[in-house]
Amino acid sequence: MRIALGTDHAGYEYKERIKGYLVEKGHEVKDFGTYSAESCDYPDFIYPAALAVAKGECDRAIVMGGSGNGETIVANKVRGIRCAICWTEEGARLSRAHNDANAISIGAWTVPIELALKMIDIWLKTPFDGGRHARRIQKIAQLDNCSLEPWPAKKT
């Protein structure tokens, strides 16, 4: 699998550990930076990583930062990206099974590296369940082309 990585300074050490781990498992890794622990701005690295997935250059993206929150927000600004922030193994599994997440965000300040690696393994191996979830993913995809008008409410 081709995996894009992106982080700011807070996630730099995690990115390096995760990159080695993924290569060891046989994945192709594209590193979008950052390349040191020197303070930097996460959108500069997260956006290109997410864009690589949207363009089909990579299959999935793993983005990191201190909390993972800002990184999730930036990745989800890219049309076609469904980035889930994960703190648990079950959250990682559900992000794929129910949400077909093509990007995952991990906070280096909130998740121990051992747990991060377990979540990544689960996230990479879990298939999308489809079924009723496919309808919801289609609605999410429609939002990529949405105006600022409210979503039409379903009448009960």
Catalytic residue list: 71, 98
Angle at 63 between CA 131 and CA 119, to 5 degrees: 60
Q: Is 26 exposed, middle or buried (0-12, 13-18, 19+ CB in 10 A)?
A: exposed
Cβ count within 10 A of residue 67: 17
Dihedral angle sign, alpha carbons of residues 116, 119, 123, 129:
negative
121 close to 112: Cβ distance less than 8 angstroms: no
